[in-house]
Structure 1
């Protein structure tokens, strides 16, 4: 037993910042993607900066095809990069995973959190109406996709489902938060989520209350 414990201790540990563990959900990374990143970190700290697919498959409980898709997604969306390195001694070229883009995104999120103030809108557009005067709401997802100019990711859809099913936000209030984010050019699900959270903390449940709350921030600048 003592030898087994000694062997466990000699295996070492993988160092990962708690900031990333606490905020990867806010970064719209899935649990599976985060676990892949943790293993890439582990390999790096063991001295292997470009593990093969076989080496990753030995540690991760996901099919090879999904592993490839996850790596491609993380690379395409600039979470990780693949650098080509030239050995100055022998001129050989080799590749390595670069996780700096992930930390740039984490740093940007932290800066946004530190400076976050619910953006102010002077007025909010009212819901679209039919010719007979009744409301004609489009699909919530469709309206977000139109505003984002792209299809929603699975994480974004899951977040929106939580807004409706768990948080019980009305569609009207969600659309109001979308317009708030749109007005300052911050069309990110996590930014819209923080707007809704701030309104929840202020016990705001209607568009009119949100308008009044925002106008309170505008009055000081209007009086200067």
Structure 2
């Protein structure tokens, strides 16, 4: 009996259970993280919101919302794993462990950065007119953490996509990639590049219109 009880024991960090509020977490978010941990112990690495909600007293919609928040706040991320030679997604708790065991004090700059990133997610949701999916959140985090794009530059790419009526993540990704190839790193450079691009487009349209007018009023008497 004692052996069975010991086998059922799971170690939960004291830091998480006693100081979660100081990390900006609430009770449902903590319980979702714990449930994901339990699922992974049972070799279920990407439980659905429905599966997680069944273990709790929240709805599937609420669970989805909390999952997005956890990814936005940097406590959870979606990774890829190979299972029987098949590439699948998995939730990674590595960001949570890093935050819990990183003893360096967060300075004001990093706090401000987190606030700016949170505001940027809200801006994207406002422009898209819907909540972002976990994959879209991961894509934005990838632009910041892996591609090292500044928040201002991402705003400029979003603005350009809105201007061109091509509001999708693939188009924004292409803009950022093109800017990176051109060595554009600041918002000032991005805005200048955008002005040049649209100026050239207008010049091209004007030239085409002039060419069309020439063709329309072609003087056949001038032909030798």
TM category (shorter chain) comes to: 0.3 to 0.5
Bigger Rg, which one: 2
TM-score by structure 1 length? 0.43
Question: Structure 2-normalised TM-score?
Answer: 0.43
Larger RCO (alpha carbons 8 Å, 6+ apart): 1
